[in-house]
Structure 1
Amino acid sequence: MPRTNDDPRALRSRAAALTAATELLVEGGPENVTHATVARRAGIGRATVYRHWPEQQALLIDALANDVRPMLTFDDSPVRDQLVTQLEQLADRLNQPSAVSVITTVIQRAERDKDARRIRTEIFGTADEDFARALAAGAERGELRAGVQEHAKDLIARMVGPLLFHRFLDGERLEKDLVVSLVDAALAPWKPHA
């Protein structure tokens, strides 16, 4: 009797392979994620890996997607506090070698692969829309001046852009004081008495 996608053995082997693929991606980049290396690391047969992912590109995309989280999410608390907290968390993630491997691979492959573009959208996609809503709520509470929400994308670029630059291009470890200074500089023109 053929196994179905709900077969516990198939689910376990797929999960083991995906964990192995993600580890291999973090350790050695996208070229390290092959059917053979994943099978060895997961302790399963290469044929099993091929059964789950007939093409290597699909295996790599699933490994990339396995570590995907939205970059920023917002609620109704004060905007500055949310930004400092979330950008500190982002800086902590960016300080991990896994984030460097995953994000750079997604950005590079998104130029020519629709699945990588989907992952890029899951990471970066709605941050400006969610941020615009948070900024509008902050303006209603009197934290920021009216109209700030129309500049959400620019404000995110002013805060996240330097983090990516310092981490990926300069290779610097990101520190809390950098995050705080970026948030304060971006929001300063929008303070009610600025």
Structure 2
Amino acid sequence: MLAAARELLLRHGPTAVTHQRVAEQAGVGRATVYRHWARTEALLLDAMSGSDLPWFREPRTPVRAWLHRELRGLADEMAQPEVAAVTLTLMHGALWDVEIAKQRDASVANLNDRVGVALRLASESGEAQPAVKPADAAALLIGPLVYRTAMQRGAVPDEVITRAIDTVAVWTGTKLG
């Protein structure tokens, strides 16, 4: 069942990891999935454990436009109640549970690395000069999405994404919108 959940997660994103879809993918009854994971958040958290989430892979030039598409997709996923719940569950659980903290730390390190690769590509292509370190850039890019979706329970307007992107580098000649 976890393999099915991870496949759904990687192919279709967090909103695809439902009891019904995991049951169909795994070839088991939905009740079987519910017996192991009573809540969708728990199922999704277990599916995310050890999974390589699809965000910020393979940056392309123009990096600014690529970053905007990645952040838009992430914001749309995070606006789903199940995904917001898992995000908050992961953050909260990491305070008390060493294994969840390790999972969180691995995800954060992965995102920091991927954002760093994108910023290096932007610099090498002459598109931008990074203004902050990769870890800070990831916080400035992803932090507003978490705040808006998980804490304010709202959608993320494109303007917020554009402003977040503007904070991480001095962009030359690439405009969004």
Q: TM-score, normalised by structure 2?
A: 0.66
Change in CA separation of 1:14 and 1:186 when aligned onto 2, cut-off 3 Å: closer
Equivalences for residues 127-146 of structure 1 within 5 A: 127-145=111-129
The aligned counterpart of 2:57 is 73
More contact order relative to length (CA 8 Å, sep ≥ 6): 2
- 1:52-83 alpha-carbon deviations (Å, 9 max, x no partner): x7xx8xxx866413256254324242220121
1:191 aligns with 2:177: no
Q: Which structure has the larger Rg over C-alpha atoms?
A: 1
3-state SS of 2:142 partner: helix
Distance apart, 1:162 and its partner CA? 1.6
The aligned counterpart of 2:71 is 87
Which structure 1 segments of 5+ residues have no match? 1-12, 25-40
Which structure 2 segments of 5+ residues have no match? 9-16, 20-28
The aligned counterpart of 1:179 is 161
For 2:2 and 2:131, the matched residues in 1 are separated by 43
When the two chains are superposed, the root-mean-square deviation of aligned CA atoms in Å is 3.5
Paired-residue identity, %: 21
The aligned counterpart of 2:30 is 42
Amino acid at match of 2:151: L
For 1:137 and 1:44, the matched residues in 2 are separated by 46
- 1:141-192 alpha-carbon deviations (Å, 9 max, x no partner): 11113xx2861122222221122112222222222232123213433xx235
The aligned counterpart of 2:152 is 170
Q: Is the 8 A contact 1:73 1:127 kept in 2?
A: no
3-state SS of 1:125 partner: helix
